[in-house]
């Protein structure tokens, strides 16, 4: 594999730096699926490049061979309907080469596909991701309902554990795509799709909806955090807890606003009266890396901006601009920041 | 020369056809910041029972009345906010039907918006602080469309998912019987 | 009693009249030739002047010219949209163009390029050139031809007027349900798109029927299928493909999507037993052949140019023909490779992978044949030939990335990313637009009578070629670095800044090159050197007539004895004579052997195709707003069509005699 990466890496490295290469890029091997993608891609690239070189060499030799014909446009008499026997043989040979190359590639593709499908065989962790315009609703399935965990826009996975992701959609067609981990799979209303992946590296990766799904398609991002198994369990148990009770007066004012006013109509916060199911779950909002489906990094300034006027940040999204008074805004942000 | 003539002729005719379309297609941001309010003070006692003078229609009605994106968002909110729970898909159940010609509290869009915002006796909750004013107006626009009031080229024919009602584009327009027949 | 006496009387009168008519009937032949014949033919074939004559014309050259000019205008408009998109994407997190406007831009760009530029321009060139190339005086069904142009024009006007009125489609050129369904696409944006498609499909179907019939029945005597020029073959295969592919998309938009949106049918509603994927299947059953519908005529252009500028008939004529036919057939078996991510059964995917890859075989053989022609011949590097060389450099990359994308595991990564955008621009611009500009330069003297400026042409070629690579090659990397298609912006820090900036710069170089090309074409219209009938010393029949061709095309119908008639006969073309000159008439031949079959009257100019197009157009446009438009709108359509096809009082002419 290393040598494959050595072939691939210079291309983007020539273009820019290289720290992003494992973040949202197919040039990574952070999961088994992407590894076989890379192997297969290199095989295809090499064969296709060889074909290209052949064609271009043929073209260049053909056009320089006779030199410039000048303006003497004489048709060579009576000869031009005869076909060059060398070329006849060449045509047969070329057809055979192309055919053989394609058969080889088709077989490689078939086995690549098989190996990916086999990796899906034994699931250890089951997650349902539901697409919404324009965010991801994530549910960790468990036999015990009290252990079922609902979160949004940030997927945590334990390294080395095969995870089976069930893909559903609430509205239009979306496509689940985390380039560093796996190929894409569509979320189609009325159809049950799924994808399996085995993360191999600890790290943070970014994915994005890959099927046009409306006006904010560009801002339907997904953060995937691959942890060690122990860290994952720690995260998991923490996420199962209810939201902490606010302690400062400002946060308490925010709590009152969020649970009794517009926010609670759409959003749920575990352990509080806010139980809307229309928008992302906010129980541990402040522990996530981003807000607005991967659009903004999570920090106080961005929270202010987002809560105050989401329509200027993500025009057309379903989060309305509520029109908070300044003191309400301070209170709401203060409360949201306690939702670690 | 002649092709330009023809092109401009076609342009004019289509422009005339679609002139009314601009209001229909305009997509308004889902809310405006501070300052916008649902009509206030229109509690049941200000809806002119028995033929007293109706107040003029709220000017904002124009933004929502026949506006296709507003109607579609209202339709979505109607499902999301569980209006279906009481009113069903307009046929009524625990709450009154919305697709007939009878409006207890007025069938104008601003009156419907007021009903949603303030709530009404016998179970209709007040949504004033649960939804933004913009959302309430959109919801009102959709509710109004259940009885076939808006023009048929602005409503969405159906929603995705289960549907057991007549397509909105084929809903007959009910005369709005209430105290304000003059307006409808 | 009286009847038996009158019948012989009537027959006698009839015979007398026929004998008189026979004396009047003038035919071309040894007695009637040269300037005298041309003057009489001109009188017979010329259309009435003025705007009525302009609307009523059935001359394939006039219609073809309109098609080409209109399509090129749409190309320019689509290009402007592309520039706006590239401006928006020049830097990350750009807010220059809002999300909603950007969605309209890319939807309009795709729809304009696919439906209003690429297919119509190929049809237009076919309509203009094919009758000349196969030695016919007219196309088959000339009135249908006129109808087809007006339908196309109305569809294009509707789309662009909607754009100006802010009602343009905004959910892509593919309009997947349920995003394009009634709930998620309120308003009339999507309906405009769906009906625009129907207009252009009706136009393309009509033009395809015209071309297929012309190619099969109107070839010059002696032009057997084996001697038919490769461009005619390409147009024949393309026409048949259109006839099979286009109904699928017209069906899915007008018969399924519009009712879903207009009267609440449930075809695509999963909640009521419909299926969102049905739309994708039907769309791509058209959508993939569409690519070959655009590409096959372009291979015809390449064959034409290679032949003329290498001084050789294309190597292995029959192999190229077989390649065209097999591409046309295979094209219908691989639509699912657009849907690899939708979760269909994996076994099925393997079939579509193999089918997609196998298309590379006929295409590879065609490329070999062109290169072998160059190898054997003496290439002359005029502008059209440069475009062919640029085509091979560029298109082969697109073809090979196509092979790469045919593999399911690879496609699952690269599907719907900028890698695909790069791939199909390499195929469509490299594979179709480069040959198109080459053939435009090549046939320009035939259509206008003047040559385009050579060095300006070379300059614009090089700018276009290099600008294109700069614009689209980096997109391969944008895609692999994780940039999905159809996003109005992208975040900073993913390594996407540089490739996107390069693409934007390249796009403007391309625009500059196209601008130069347009200036060249416009200036040469007046200032270009006069071409003469055969400036390139080309072998096919369209170069046997003057430039621009006379309204009746050929004074005498030529007879053909080889693939390259003008080269083999030292300028003296054998002809057949005996067609009437006092009425419009063309010669039909048999389908395979092209032996003279019958003489066919050619319809006179008529306003009814235009009126019928208006009537049909009004139905389509009005049915966006109300279902009642269909029953009521069919009445004027019926009237127009009845009047169009009203049986004419035919004079009983003597039997055809071909001398």
Contact A323/B80, CB-based, under 8 Å? no
Nearest to B34 among A171, A317, A323 (CB): A323
Higher pLDDT, C517 or A88: C517
Over the stretch C62-102, which tens digit does the pLDDT of each residue have? 999 999 999 999 999 999 999 999 999 999 999 899 898 99
Size of the B and C interface in Cβ pairs below 8 Å? 99
How confident is chain A (340 residues) per 10-residue block, as mean pLDDT?
44 44 76 84 93 94 70 49 79 92 90 76 85 94 88 93 92 93 91 90 92 93 93 93 92 93 91 90 92 90 93 90 91 93
Judged by a CB distance cut-off of 8 A, whether residue A321 touches chain B is yes
Residue B177 pLDDT? 62
From A229-233, C154-158, C312-316, C589-593, the region with the lowest mean pLDDT: C312-316
Rounded to the nearest integer, the mean pLDDT of chain C is: 91
Encoding tokens for residue A72? 């003497």
Distance spanning both ends of chain A, measured CA to CA = 40
How confident is chain B (184 residues) per 10-residue block, as mean pLDDT?
52 52 68 51 48 70 88 91 87 85 85 90 89 92 89 86 80 68 40
Residues A231 and C227: their CA atoms lie apart, in Å, by 75
How many CB atoms lie under 10 A from the CB of residue B153? Answer: 18
Residue B181 pLDDT? 43
Residues A93 and A99: their CA atoms lie apart, in Å, by 10
Measured between alpha carbons, how far is residue A67 from residues A60, B162, C296, C478, C482 in Å?
11, 72, 30, 40, 45
Contact C264/B163, CB-based, under 8 Å? yes
Mean of pLDDT values over C396-424: 94
Contact C157/B10, CB-based, under 8 Å? yes
* B neighbours by CB contacts (3+ pairs under 8 Å): A, C
What residue in C sits closest to A69 (Cα-Cα)? Answer: C378
What residue in B sits closest to C184 (Cα-Cα)? Answer: B72
The C-alpha of A204 sits at a distance from chain B's nearest C-alpha, in angstroms, of 33
Give Cα B78 to chain centroid, integer Å. 12
DSSP string, C494-543: SS-HHHHHHHHHHHHHHHHHHHHHHHHHHHHHHHSPB--S-TT---SGGG
The C-alpha of B152 sits at a distance from chain C's nearest C-alpha, in angstroms, of 8
Judged by a CB distance cut-off of 8 A, whether residue B163 touches chain C is yes
Residues C84 and C96: their CA atoms lie apart, in Å, by 10
Kindly list the residues from chain B whose CB atom is less than 8 angstroms away from the CB atom of residue C184.
72, 160
Contact B162/C272, CB-based, under 8 Å? yes
Contact C188/B24, CB-based, under 8 Å? yes
Judged by a CB distance cut-off of 8 A, whether residue B6 touches chain A is no
Phi, psi (deg, nearest 5) at residue C550: -65, 165
Kindly list the residues from chain C whose CB atom is less than 8 angstroms away from the CB atom of residue B90.
none
Kindly list the residues from chain C whose CB atom is less than 8 angstroms away from the CB atom of residue A169.
none
Residue A113 pLDDT? 83
Residues C565 and C557: their CA atoms lie apart, in Å, by 13
Residue A117 pLDDT? 72
Please answer whether residues C128 and C43 qualify as being in contact, where contact means their C-beta atoms are separated by less than 8 angstroms. Answer: no
- Among C257, C146, C190, C174, smallest CA distance to C603 is for C146
Mean of pLDDT values over C527-548: 91
Mean of pLDDT values over C545-566: 91
User: What is the enclosing helix (H) or strand (E) of B7?
Assistant: helix B2-18
Q: Which long-range contacts (CB under 8 A, 24 or more apart) does B168-172 make?
A: B168/C264, B169/C262, B169/C263, B169/C264, B170/C263, B170/C264, B171/B99, B171/B145, B171/B146, B171/B147, B172/B148
Please answer whether residues C195 and C258 qualify as being in contact, where contact means their C-beta atoms are separated by less than 8 angstroms. Answer: yes
Residue C583 pLDDT? 85
Looking at the DSSP bridge assignments, the partners of residue C530 are C450
Encoding tokens for residue C85? 């998109």
**Residue C142 in this model has a pLDDT that exceeds 50:** yes
Contact B27/C183, CB-based, under 8 Å? no
Nearest to B132 among A171, A262, A278 (CB): A262
Mean of pLDDT values over C433-441: 96
The stretches of C382-453 forming alpha helices (DSSP H) are 383-406, 408-414, 418-425, 434-448
DSSP reduced 3-state for A79: coil
Judged by a CB distance cut-off of 8 A, whether residue A317 touches chain B is yes
From A105-119, A169-183, C375-389, C512-526, the region with the lowest mean pLDDT: A105-119
Measured between alpha carbons, how far is residue A82 from residues C376, C538, C563 in Å?
10, 19, 13
**Residue C607 in this model has a pLDDT that exceeds 90:** yes
* Residue C557 DSSP code: E
Residue B91 pLDDT? 81
Kindly list the residues from chain C whose CB atom is less than 8 angstroms away from the CB atom of residue A117.
346
CA angle B44, B45, B47 (to 5 degrees): 70
Residue C166 pLDDT? 85
Judged by a CB distance cut-off of 8 A, whether residue A256 touches chain B is no
Contact A320/B36, CB-based, under 8 Å? no
Kindly list the residues from chain B whose CB atom is less than 8 angstroms away from the CB atom of residue A260.
129
Residue B16 pLDDT? 52
């Amino acid at each position: 594999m290393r040598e494959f990466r050595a072939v691939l890496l210079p291309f983007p490295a020539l273009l820019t730096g290289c720290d992003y290469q494992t973040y949202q890029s197919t040039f990574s091997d952070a999961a088994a699926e992407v590894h076989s993608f890379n192997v297969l891609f290199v095989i295809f690239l090499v064969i296709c490049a060889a074909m290209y070189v052949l064609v271009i060499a043929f073209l260049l030799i053909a056009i320089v061979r006779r030199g410039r014909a000048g303006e003497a446009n004489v048709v060579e008499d009576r000869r031009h309907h005869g076909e060059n026997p060398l070329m006849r043989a060449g045509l047969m040979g070329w057809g055979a080469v192309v055919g053989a190359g394609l058969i080889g590639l088709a077989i490689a593709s078939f086995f690549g596909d098989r190996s990916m499908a086999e990796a899906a065989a034994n699931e250890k962790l089951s997650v349902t991701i539901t697409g919404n315009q324009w965010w991801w609703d994530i549910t960790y399935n468990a036999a015990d309902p009290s252990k079922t965990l609902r979160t949004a826009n940030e997927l945590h996975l334990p390294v080395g554990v095969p995870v089976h992701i069930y893909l559903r959609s609430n509205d239009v067609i979306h496509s689940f795509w985390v380039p560093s981990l796996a190929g894409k799979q569509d979320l189609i209303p009325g159809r049950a799709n799924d994808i399996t992946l085995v993360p191999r590296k600890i790290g943070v990766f970014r994915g994005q909806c890959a099927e046009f799904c409306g006006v904010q398609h560009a801002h339907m991002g997904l953060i995937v955090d691959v942890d060690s198994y122990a860290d994952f369990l720690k995260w998991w148990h923490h996420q199962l807890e209810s939201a902490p009770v606010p302690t400062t007066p400002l946060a308490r004012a925010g709590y009152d606003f969020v649970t009794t006013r517009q926010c609670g109509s759409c959003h749920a916060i575990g352990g509080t009266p806010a139980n809307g199911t229309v928008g992302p779950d906010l129980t541990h909002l402040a522990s996530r890396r981003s807000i607005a489906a991967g659009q903004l990094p999570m920090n106080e300034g961005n929270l202010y901006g987002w809560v105050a006027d989401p329509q200027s940040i993500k025009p057309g999204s379903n989060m309305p601009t509520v029109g908070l008074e300044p003191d309400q805004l301070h209170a709401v942000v203060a409360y949201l920041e306690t939702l670690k | 020369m002649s092709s330009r003539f023809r092109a401009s002729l076609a342009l004019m005719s289509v422009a005339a056809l679609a002139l009314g379309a601009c209001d229909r297609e305009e997509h308004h941001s889902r809310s405006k910041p501070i300052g916008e309010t649902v009509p206030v003070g229109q509690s049941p006692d200000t809806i002119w029972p028995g033929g007293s003078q109706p107040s003029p229609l709220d000017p904002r009605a124009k933004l929502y009345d026949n506006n296709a994106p507003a109607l579609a968002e209202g339709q979505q909110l109607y499902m999301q906010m569980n209006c279906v729970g009481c009113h069903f898909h307009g046929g009524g159940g625990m709450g009154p039907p919305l697709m007939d010609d009878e409006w207890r509290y007025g069938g104008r869009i601003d009156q419907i918006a007021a009903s949603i915002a303030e709530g009404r006796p016998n179970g209709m909750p007040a949504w004033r602080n649960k939804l933004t004013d913009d959302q309430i107006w959109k919801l009102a626009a959709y509710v109004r469309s259940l009885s076939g009031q808006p023009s048929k080229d602005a409503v969405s024919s159906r929603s995705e998912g289960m549907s057991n009602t007549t397509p909105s584009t084929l809903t007959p327009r009910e005369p709005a019987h209430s105290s304000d027949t003059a307006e409808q | 009693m009286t009847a038996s006496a009158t019948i012989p009387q009537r027959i006698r009168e009839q015979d007398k009249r026929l004998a008189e008519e026979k004396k009047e009937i003038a035919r071309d032949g040894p007695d009637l030739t040269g300037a005298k014949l041309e003057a009489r033919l001109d009188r017979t074939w010329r259309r009435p002047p003025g705007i009525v004559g302009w609307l009523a014309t059935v001359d394939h050259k006039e219609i073809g010219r309109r098609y080409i000019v209109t399509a090129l205008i749409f190309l320019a408009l689509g290009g402007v949209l592309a520039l706006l998109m590239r401006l928006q994407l020049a830097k990350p997190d750009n807010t220059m163009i809002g999300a909603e406007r950007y969605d309209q831009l890319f939807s309009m760009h795709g729809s304009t390029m696919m439906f209003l530029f690429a297919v119509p321009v190929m049809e237009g060139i076919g309509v203009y050139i094919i009758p000349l190339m196969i030695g016919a005086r007219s196309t088959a069904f000339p009135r249908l031809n006129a109808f087809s142009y007006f339908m196309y024009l109305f569809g294009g006007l509707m789309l662009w007027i909607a754009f100006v009125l802010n009602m343009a489609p905004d959910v892509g050129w593919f309009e997947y349900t349920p995003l394009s369904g009634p709930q998620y696409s309120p308003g009339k944006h999507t309906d405009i798109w769906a009906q625009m498609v129907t207009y252009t499909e009706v136009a393309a179907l009509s033009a395809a029927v015209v071309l297929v019939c012309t190619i099969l029945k109107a070839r010059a005597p002696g032009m057997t299928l084996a001697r038919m020029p490769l461009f005619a073959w390409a147009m024949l295969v393309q026409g048949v493909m259109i006839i099979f592919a286009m109904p699928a998309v017209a069906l899915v938009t007008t018969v399924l999507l519009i009712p879903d949106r207009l009267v609440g049918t449930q075809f695509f509603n999963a909640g009521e037993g419909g299926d969102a994927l049905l739309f994708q299947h039907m769309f791509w059953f058209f959508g993939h052949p569409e690519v070959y519908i655009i590409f096959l005529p372009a291979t015809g252009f390449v064959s034409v140019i290679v032949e003329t500028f290498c001084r050789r008939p294309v190597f292995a004529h029959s192999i190229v023909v077989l390649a065209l036919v097999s591409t046309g057939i295979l094209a219908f078996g691989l639509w699912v490779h657009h849907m690899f991510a939708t979760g269909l059964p994996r076994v099925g995917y393997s079939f579509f992978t193999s089918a997609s890859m196998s298309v590379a075989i006929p295409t590879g053989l065609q490329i070999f044949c062109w290169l072998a022609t160059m190898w054997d011949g003496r290439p002359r590097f005029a502008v059209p030939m440069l475009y062919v060389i640029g085509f091979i450099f560029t298109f082969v990359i697109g073809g090979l990335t196509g092979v790469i994308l045919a593999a399911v595991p690879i496609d699952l990564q690269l599907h719907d990313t900028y890698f695909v955008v790069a791939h199909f621009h390499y195929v469509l611009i490299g594979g179709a637009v480069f040959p198109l500009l080459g053939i435009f330069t090549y046939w320009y003297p035939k259509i206008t009578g003047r040559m385009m400026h050579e060095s300006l042409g070379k300059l614009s070629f090089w700018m276009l070629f290099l600008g294109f690579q700069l614009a689209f090659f980096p997109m391969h990397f944008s895609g692999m670095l994780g940039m999905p298609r159809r996003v109005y912006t992208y975040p900073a820090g993913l390594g996407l800044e540089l490739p996107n900036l390069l693409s934007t710069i390249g796009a403007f170089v391309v625009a500059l090159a196209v601008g130069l090309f347009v200036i060249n074409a416009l200036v040469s219209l007046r200032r270009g050197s006069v071409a003469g009938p055969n400036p390139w010393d080309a072998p096919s029949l369209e170069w046997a007539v003057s430039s621009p061709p006379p309204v009746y095309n050929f004074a005498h119908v030529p007879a053909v004895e080889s693939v390259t008639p003008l080269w083999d006969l030292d300028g003296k073309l054998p002809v057949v004579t005996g067609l009437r000159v006092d009425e419009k008439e063309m010669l039909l031949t048999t389908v395979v052997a092209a032996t003279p079959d019958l003489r066919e009257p050619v319809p006179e100019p008529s306003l009814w195709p235009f009126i019928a197009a208006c009537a049909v157009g009004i139905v389509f446009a009005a049915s966006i707003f109300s279902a009642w438009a269909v029953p009521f709108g069919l009445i004027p359509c019926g009237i127009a069509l009845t009047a169009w096809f009203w049986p004419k009082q035919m004079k009983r002419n003597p039997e055809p005699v071909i001398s």
